[in-house]
Amino acid sequence: MKFLKFFFIFLVFNLGALGLGVLLMGNGPTSDWYTSMNQAPWTPPNWIFGTAWSFIMLCFSFYMTFLYLKHPTKKVLTLFIIQFILNVAWNYVFFNQHLIAIGLGTIIALTIIITAFLVTYLKVIKGYTLFILPYFIWICIATSLNLYILIYN
């Protein structure tokens, strides 16, 4: 029962981050500004983003639940809050404000936080670390997409 309680809390926060990010980005992904840019050849179609992020946040909610139940520290919560802020902020900075370089800095910081989770707590939750791998892989791809746009536009 304790697991379900924390899983639900993390799921609400993670899906809330997605919703807030969508609100803050406006029509960014479909705007003329974005669609007219040179985009990386490996840029996925728009419909994949919502599906991927939903799956990633579901997995990350499992990851955070396992981690927090095993290691309930201020550091874990602080990293989670920083991750939340950076994840939401990137949408606003990149898509709403069109600040590509600052967006890249934001997403690199987010990548560092996700990497810190992955590396720091690997021994703590062992196999459950697999639940953060989709986030890590996707954020690396997203960072490369942001970098490509910065370089080629």
- Where are the chain's structural domains? 2-152
Give the residue from 89, 88, 97, 90 showing the smallest Cα distance to 31: 97
- Let me know how many helices (H) and strands (E) the chain has, helices first: 7, 0
pLDDT confidence tier of residue 17, bands split at 50, 70 and 90: very high
In the predicted structure, residue 32 carries a pLDDT above the cut 90: yes
CA atoms of 51 and 73, how far apart (whole Å): 31
The pLDDT of residue 46? 87
Residue 52 phi, psi (nearest 5): -60, -50
Q: What percent of the chain has pLDDT over 70?
A: 100
Q: Show Cβ contacts of residue 65 under 8 Å, excluding neighbours closer than 6 positions.
A: 3, 6, 7, 10
CATH architecture of 2-152: Up-down Bundle (1.20)
Mean pLDDT for 145-149 is 98
Read off the pLDDT of residues 65-113 as tens digits, 9 standing for 90 and up: 999 999 999 999 999 999 999 999 999 999 999 999 999 999 999 999 9
- In the block, residue with structure tokens 């201020």: 74
Query: What is the model's pLDDT at position 28?
Result: 87
What value does the mean pLDDT of the chain take?
97
> What size, in residues, is the chain?
153
| pTM of structure | 0.95
